[in-house]
Amino acid sequence: MQGVEGQWNGELKFDGRSISLHPRSLTKLFVINTIHQHLPSIQLGFKDDTAADVASMGLGDSSKLQLTLGDGTSDEMSATFTLIGDLRIEGDYSAEHVDVSGVLDHLPWMRKIVSGHTEGTSSDAIAKVAGEAGLQFESHQTSDKQIWLPNNRPLASFARHVMERGWASASSCMMLAVSDSSTCRYFDVDQIQSSGKLFGVDGHPILKFQINGKADVYNNSVGYGATSTNFKPDGEFNKFTKVAVKMLSSNLSAGAANIAAIGEAGGRILSRALDTGNVHEKWNEAQHQNQRIRSMYSHDVHILSDKLSGVELLDKVQLNLLTHGGGQPMASHNGEYIVSAYTRGLAANRYIEKITLTSQGTN
């Protein structure tokens, strides 16, 4: 194990052979976890002074990268990644600069095509394909039993297809994420309980934070409002507009004037497929509310820490910030958030972790 006590510790191996993590040789190391990608990914760059590593290790597509990384204490994470594609090498007068990238070592999740149907809930269907990829599975209970048919998609794409049509209650919003702990979570945001983790004052240390809203994009899709329409099997016209939302914040990142200007139907009319009676009763309603409610989570706070946080994607955590100028609580931004992304890395001879906390708006 390499490292500096109180700053970082780690070990990096390619197919069982160690690579130095010393700052003089390591140029880039990031492990990226986010709800927006199928599997956690890794970006790695290092200098090979004598070209011995590149010449002798036979690195390339599908090579295995074993990584252990911590903050110089007893806390650490460990995961295996699969390299995707060949090495990128740039030679100069002193060394070869090598860049590689890969994903968590569960390639069937991204590549294997679904076969066979599943009779049960959306949770049952996703549990089945997660198991085929060797992932651990955690889920909330859903009420959407039917026969889920294969659609010639890879396991992850099928799981997201099912997620979009998953339904637990009139205020449910289904989310899917895979963390570098090899855990696949299929959660209803409405049912997520607090993890007990606190960031900021009296909690996990924060070196720096950045508040960043993305409502300009999300509102222009369906955040301000949308109407979904389709026909039932008996020919009756079906329409969905408003949704019930469990709020983490006091405000939505949507201006009252804009909402009023758009009107009752919202800014978009979405025509859903004809209900032929071979899906669960809330199939179209689930698509409508999953898309609508998810778009309301448009307020991000990015925090930077030099300690291992131990969070997982879709954890619910508490944020407690102080203003830098006066040292007063930032009441409008403190409160409960959902973890939507985190990146681990080494920089300036220290472990670093950037965590993205997401809510619907300010308080």
Q: Could you give the percent of the chain with pLDDT greater than 70?
A: 86
The type of residue at 247 is M
10, 3 Cβ separation under 8 angstroms? yes
Q: What tens digit of pLDDT does each residue of 131-168 get?
A: 999 999 999 999 999 999 988 999 999 999 999 999 99
Give pLDDT, residue 72. 92
Q: Rounded to whole angstroms, how far apart are CA atoms 89 and 99? A: 6
Q: Which of 147-151, 198-202, 261-265, 281-285 has the lowest mean pLDDT?
A: 261-265
Contact predicate 29/44, CB 8 Å? yes
Distance from C-alpha of 348 to C-alpha of 132, rounded to nearest angstrom: 40
Please check whether residues 232 and 338 belong to one and the same domain: no
223, 277: one domain = yes
Q: Beta strand 299-305 with 118-120: parallel, antiparallel or unpaired?
A: unpaired
User: Do 37 and 148 fall within a single domain?
Assistant: no
Task: Provide the 10 A C-beta neighbour count for residue 18.
Answer: 12
Q: Considering its fold, how many domains does the chain have in total?
A: 4
Domain boundary, last residue among 105, 139, 171: 105
In this structure, are 96 and 19 located in the same domain?
A: yes
| Mean pLDDT of the region 237-247 | 72
* Shared domain check, 180 and 87: no
Asked whether residue 177 falls in the same domain as residue 267, the answer is no
Residues 96 and 26 in one domain: yes
Query: Can you tell me whether residue 5 is helix, strand or coil?
Result: coil
Query: What pLDDT does 329 receive?
Result: 85
Judge residue 338's burial from the number of C-beta atoms within 10 Å of its C-beta, 0-12 exposed, 13-18 middle, 19 or more buried: buried
Same domain as 310, residue 202: yes
Q: Which domain holds residue 135?
A: 106-191
CATH number at residue 22: 2.30.300.10
- pLDDT tens, position by position, 192-237: 999 999 999 999 999 999 998 777 666 666 666 777 666 677 667 6
Residue 267 — very low, low, confident or very high, per pLDDT cuts 50/70/90? low
Q: Are residues 187 and 198 in the same domain?
A: no
pLDDT tens-digit series, residues 58-117: 777 888 999 999 999 988 999 999 999 888 888 777 777 888 999 999 999 999 999 999
CB 127 within 8 A of CB 141: no
Decide the pairing of beta strands 237-240 and 227-231.
antiparallel
Q: Are residues 123 and 179 in the same domain?
A: yes
* pTM, entire model: 0.90
Picking from 265, 294, 323, the residue at the C-terminal end of a domain is: 294
For residue 215, CA distances in Å to 188, 212, 218, 267 come to 22, 9, 5, 14
For residue 68, what are the CA distances in angstroms to 11, 104, 186, 354?
5, 13, 26, 18
Q: Residue 183: give its domain's CATH number.
A: 3.55.50.60
- Check pLDDT > 60 for residue 51: no
Query: Which residues, listed in sequence order, are joined to residue 47 by a DSSP beta bridge?
Result: 97
357 shares a domain with 306: yes
234, 263, 294 - which closes a domain:
294
Lookup: tokens for 110: 């991204």
Which domain CATH number covers 315?
2.40.30.150
Residues 94 and 6 in one domain: yes
Helix (H) or strand (E) holding 235, with range, is none
Place of tokens 């946080």: 309
Residue 199 Ramachandran class (φ > 0 left, ψ -120 to 50 alpha, else beta): beta
Report percent pLDDT > 90 for the chain: 55
Instruction: For residue 269, name the pLDDT band (cuts at 50, 70, 90).
Output: low
Q: What 8-state DSSP symbol labels residue 114? A: P
DSSP class of residue 223 equals: I
In whole numbers, what is the pLDDT of the chain averaged over residues?
87
pLDDT value for 54? 61
Residues 6+ apart with CB under 8 A from 56: none
